[in-house]
Amino acid sequence: MESAVQLIELGAIILGLGLLGAVSVRFSISPIPLYLIAGLAFGAGGILPLTTSEDFVSIGAEVGVILLLFTLGLEYTADELVATLRTSAPVGLTDLVLNAAPGAIAALLLGWGPVAAVAMAGITYVTSSGITAKVIGDLGWLGNREIPAVLSVLVFEDLAMAAYLPILTALLAGAGLLGGAAALAIAAATITAILYVALRHGSLVERFVASPSEEVLLLKVLGLTLLVAGVAQQLKVSAAVGAFLVGIALSGTLAHTAQKLLTPLRDLFAAVFFVFFGLHTDPGDLPPVLGVAALLAAIGILTKAATGWYTARRAGVAPTGRLRAGAALVPRGEFNIVIAGLAVTAGTNPRLGPLAAAYVLILAVAGPVLARTTEPLAARLRARRTAHRAPQTDDDVPVATSRTTADGGRVTDSAADAPETA
């Protein structure tokens, strides 16, 4: 009887996601806010809480984040990753200072203490890689010139989380600096090992998973990705980082085929992830902390917009692309909730959990909406600049440029999105 109820709930969840997706397509909006609201409606404190399918939804949510980051990793080679990390350190540190400071300051002003301040710093710092990846895919931005810069920020943040989470866990457990240093050393060794295999032995990984059968290839790639992600998480490193690096290790035709096979699974489990987040947020706990959450969210939008503008400008991207980069970095999600969960479980402060949930919910909804509005906003800005600019001669008219997208196609950039010169 219980299995029948599980099937009914799972069927209702998946069918409901399909209907919400259809609504989003009909009105040309991102489905992510709809998925989050659905999770709120059917989670703890909602109108009709789910009773038997929670375990499946929980695992499905983890798989969704892993597949989102794996498919992002397929877009780039190991050499490109290393080059990006070398050049993104100034941007990554700027992002860290701008976005971690508001959370830490808020916790100290609220009198929650230094450990809660460290937790809140992580909550306001890190962008949701899962939501950002979904937004980029939904809006067709993968081939845009600013996306490598955005991904460099995401990778830097994920690697920063690999160092931050062990330290936070040690602080919450009262282990002190020695315990935090040991946990950090394990995380660094794990990342180094995965990166070494991806950089030096990527061809061996490709030969291991390659197969003329698409069925066998799907099973090998999916199994390897989940295995590495699980080992990384067991060693206190982000599972998302492990999955991203597996994607980096694959390239060429094999990467293209793997992406085609895994895209439907990625879309399914990514939708489950967003529902899962909503399921674990009690709507009744949100109103008392909405004021502080809204203020932090407003600051977070500005600081992430500044980060995106700065990193895209360093890459020579025009203002339109800088706006897109800033909007893509606004959402918060999976890591933020993980951090809040660790802090609440350790008994840091009972208000920290609802505050984090309200903050993430605001930005998880605002991020995709802001991303959708960047193009019209950029068009108005261009029109305003053109209206105040002197008439151009034929020699002054910018020439459109073309570029190669991640899948090998060609895209023509308008003059507004062409690379800037020094």
- Inter-axis angle of helices 147-172 and 239-249, to 10 degrees? 140
pLDDT in tens, the chain (422 residues): 667 888 888 888 889 889 988 988 887 666 877 887 888 787 766 677 766 677 778 888 888 888 887 887 787 676 766 776 677 788 999 999 999 999 999 999 999 999 899 999 999 999 988 788 888 888 888 888 888 889 889 888 877 876 787 778 777 877 555 666 776 677 677 777 777 777 777 778 888 888 889 999 999 999 999 998 888 778 766 677 778 778 878 877 888 899 899 989 988 888 888 787 777 777 877 888 999 999 999 999 999 999 999 999 988 898 889 999 999 999 987 778 778 877 887 888 888 888 988 898 899 888 888 988 887 877 777 777 777 665 555 444 444 444 544 444 444 444 444 444 33
In a domain, residue 414? The reply is no
pLDDT value of residue 35? 83
Query: By the 8 A CB rule, do 136 and 328 touch?
Result: yes
Is 190 within the bounds of a domain?
yes
Location of structure tokens 């919910």 = 361
405 domain residue, yes or no: no
Look at residue 331 and tell me if it is in a domain: yes
Is 5 part of any domain?
no
Report the CATH number at residue 156: 1.20.1530.20
Kindly state the helix (H) or strand (E) to which residue 410 belongs, with its residue range. strand 410-413
Decide: 340 and 119 in contact? Cβ < 8 Å.
yes
- Of 191, 277, 283, 204, whose CA–CA distance to 238 is shortest? 191
Flag whether 398 is in a domain. no
Residue 300 is predicted with a pLDDT of: 96
Neighbours of 383 (CB within 10 A): 9
Q: Is residue 16 part of a domain?
A: no
Looking at the domain assignment, is residue 43 inside a domain? no
Please, are residues 193 and 228 in contact by the beta-carbon 8 Å criterion?
A: no
- Full residue range of the structural domain in which residue 302 is found: 53-382
- The answer to whether residues 242 and 194 touch, using CB atoms and an 8 Å cutoff, is yes
Q: Looking at the 3D structure of the chain, how many domains does it have?
A: 1
CA–CA distance, 359 with 221 (Å, rounded to integer): 35
Q: List the Cα angle 228/230/231 in 5-degree steps.
A: 65
pLDDT of residue 178: 64
The Cα angle at residue 187 between residues 185 and 188, in degrees rounded to 5: 65
User: The pTM is what?
Assistant: 0.69
Query: What is the full DSSP assignment across 57-120?
Result: HHHHHHHHHHHHHHHHHTTS-HHHHHHHHHHSHHHHHHHHHHHHHHHHHHHHHTT--HHHHHHH
